[in-house]
Chains A and B, each alone.
Chain A
Amino acid sequence: MELRAAFERLLDANAGDALMPALDGAGYLDALRELPLSEVEPLLRALGARAVDAPVAETMAVRAVAAPSRSLLAVMAAAEMAGIGERLLEMSLEHANTRRQFGKPIGGFQAIQQQLAVMAEQVVLTRIAAQSGCAHGLEPPLVEAAAAKSVASSAAPTITAIAHAVHGAIGIAREFPLHRFTARLHALRMSHGSESYWNRTLGKIRIEAEAENSLDFLRHV
């Protein structure tokens, strides 16, 4: 918690070109050499929550293991995606509660409420998938990495679509911040393998597995 708060202060104080040197100076780019991935995961979400597009996660990974696996980069991307999703949900709720049409906040309309419920589900699912992926250190098992990135990437189109639907036209205005977050989420969906890539990987392992059933399979990764 404290680590994330300090990290966030640094992120908020340093924009653009100043960011990477500041993070380096404070030792954050070496975080994975000192801390388990599961403890770095909240920092990755903090990056996502600010749509930071500097290669922070990749640099952390390279500093910890010279040639990071695609699995490692994928679970780190999933964690950033969870952070973006959390932020997009907050922005959408804020907008739903303040934007008024037909004499009331649009968040009072059941159609908007149901969409935001679906969005929240996908955000929470992405977060737990990312946490699962980050629970195994710097060499995530293939099945865990595949599940994490597949879930995060599959959720991305739903999350971005609902965020934009709820915001209306303002969401695609350049001066309004929403598009920065949705663009970053689209980009990370494609990075280090999108859902179809990881689904093929995971599907092959499952079909070839000896497991008695799918519970057995998931428990023995």
Chain B
Amino acid sequence: MFDALQLTRIPAEDEALRGKVRALIAEHVLHRPVTERVRSWMGIDADFSRALGAAGLLGLTLPVDYGGAGRGPFARYVVVEELLAAGASVGLHWIADRQSALVILTFGTEAQKRSYLPRICRGELFFCIGMSEPEAGSDLASVRTGAERTETGWRLTGQKIWTTAAHLCDYAIALVRTSGTAADRHRGLSQFIVDLKAPGVTIRGIEDATGHRDFNELFFDGVELAADALLGEEGAGWAQVNAELAFERSGPERIWSSAVLLDSWIGHLKQAGADEVRTERVGGFMAQLSALRALSIAVTARLAAGEQPVVEASLVKDLGTSFEQAIPAAIADDLGGHPDEAVAPQLRAALIDALALAPAYSLRGGTREILRGIIARGLGLR
């Protein structure tokens, strides 16, 4: 069962990338407060995104011809795990690097690839995900935003929601209906590259529980799109968006979201002292993290073999997000269980933010229940 997930070693030439990433982390990340570093892939730092691009650490898997590094998924794995484990602010380039660039590479025209990919690799062009709508969450095929043909291209009307970082990005890749009605489900959907500065696009921020503005509502009020805004084939949007979700779900980011908080708490234990209960908790998290990391690397090996490990990635994401969510819950009990102990305000504040944000870990990118459904189908259950 799932025999494709085998213990794999990261190739030496990819391991060799760590030094370069760590140098950038030392310069841009380590001095930042824990409260900032826990946000990591929601954190924004344009200078850092550009520095990664300049160092050749974005678009690692894209062909050299389009500005990429022409390397394999293991190279990206190494860079990404270093960034996340250190809590680097990667939110600005994250989505372009993880999925938008790959969707453009896979389905885009030559002109689209030439236009977007080199700037993504330089850390100058940022993308967001225009999938969810108020009435289309887990049931993504029920999107209602529509595009109709005009003489020069397309006219876009509708609304997206929960669009992470849209207010800071240049483009969204949006899934919209180009024919039929919502009842046609998977047929009649297409993807578009939408310029977020175009007339008729309104972006309205939504504050999250911690008071940060991470996600947004996007309104399209008769936005005129040129013909070349269509990405891939008209009507093939469903297959394309599933390929995009496979890119989204198969990265290693789903195990590291609480790593900075965990390490900060371990730092606290070094000072305050660790009894048996504390020691045991730390050990349990290390054991799980060790096995999850091995699984993440095993998924990366499937990507490197040219596969789309959709079911395997869902399995690792569900395990990984459960692990990430367990950490703040356990630390809250631990610190509360030692009421007379002094706790650094930074650690306490980071914990409170993590408790507020952790529920999102098993929502974003597909909910726990949806992922378990994918796994069950992979097990042959109908």
Contact = CB atoms under 8 A, between A and B. Distances in A.
Interface stretch (B65-73, B136-144, B279-287, B357-365): B279-287
B1 A150 contact: no
With most chain B CB atoms within 10 A of its CB, the pick from A121, A198, A202, A218 is A121
B85 A132 contact: no
A116 B379 contact: yes
Contacts of A182: none
Interface stretch (B152-160, B226-234, B262-270): B262-270
Contact of A107 (B2, B282, B372, B382): B382
Contacts of B5: 124, 127-128
B372 A113 contact: yes
Interface in B135-185: none
A32 interface: no
B6 interface: yes
A170 to B, nearest CB: 19
B124 interface: no
Interface in A181-211: 195-196, 198-204, 206-207
Contacts, number: 162
Interface in A71-126: 86, 89-90, 93, 96-97, 107-108, 110, 112-114, 116-118, 120-121, 123-125
Q: Decide if the interface of chain A is mainly helix, strand, loop or mixed.
A: helix
A204 B270 CA distance: 10
Contacts of B371: 117
Interface string B280-306: 111110111111111100100000000
Contact of A207 (B274, B294, B369): B274
Interface string B192-235: 00000000000000000000000000000000000000000000
B380 A97 contact: yes
Contacts of A159: none
Given A118-B372, A128-B294, A135-B7, A151 B381 contact: no
Contacts of B298: 128
Contact of B295 (A113, A118, A128, A148): A128
Interface string B1-36: 110011100000000000000000000000000000
Given A96-B381, A154-B284, A215-B85, A204 B279 contact: yes
A200 B380 contact: no
B315 A124 contact: yes
A90 B82 contact: no
Contact of B279 (A110, A135, A143, A200): A200
A147 interface: yes
B82 to A, nearest CB: 7
A113 B375 CA distance: 9
Nearest to B273: A207
B43 interface: no
B310 interface: no
A215 B81 contact: yes
A199 B287 contact: yes
Contacts of B128: none
Nearest to B293: A218
Contacts of B293: 215, 218
A146 to B, nearest CB: 6
B43 to A, nearest CB: 16
A131 interface: yes
A114 B95 CA distance: 29
Contact of A150 (B7, B270, B287, B375): B287
15 contacts: A107-B382, A113-B376, A125-B292, A128-B5, A131-B6, A132-B294, A146-B286, A154-B284, A199-B283, A200-B279, A200-B280, A213-B85, A213-B86, A214-B85, A214-B266
Given A128-B295, A195-B287, A199-B284, 11 more contacts: A108-B382, A128-B294, A151-B287, A202-B287, A207-B266, A207-B279, A213-B259, A214-B259, A214-B266, A217-B286, A218-B289
Q: List 4 A-B pairs, minimum CB-CB distance, nearest first.
A: A203-B283, A199-B283, A113-B376, A202-B283
